Amino acid sequence: MKTIPVNAEAALHDVLSDADQLHSRELRAALEKYVAALRVQIKTLRKMMN
């Protein structure tokens, strides 16, 4: 199965939903920062594909 930007965005959304249930604020913040960086990369990939 190929990962396309739409699927990747959905997966990131799921990760953040699960991260909301974590007790550690530091871990939650780190995940949010990492997901934000991945979203920038997905956005760049979309531009390259079009």
3-46 pLDDT per residue, tens: 677 788 888 888 888 887 888 888 888 998 999 999 999 999 88
- Asked whether 16 and 29 are in contact (CB, 8 A), the reply is no
CA distance 15 to 20: 9
Residue type, 14: D
C-alpha 18, offset from chain centre: 12
- Asked whether 32 and 16 are in contact (CB, 8 A), the reply is yes
Whole-number pLDDT of residue 13: 87
pTM, rounded to two decimals: 0.74
Distances from the Cα of 44 to the Cαs of 5, 8, 15, 21, 23, in angstroms?
Answer: 10, 13, 20, 30, 32
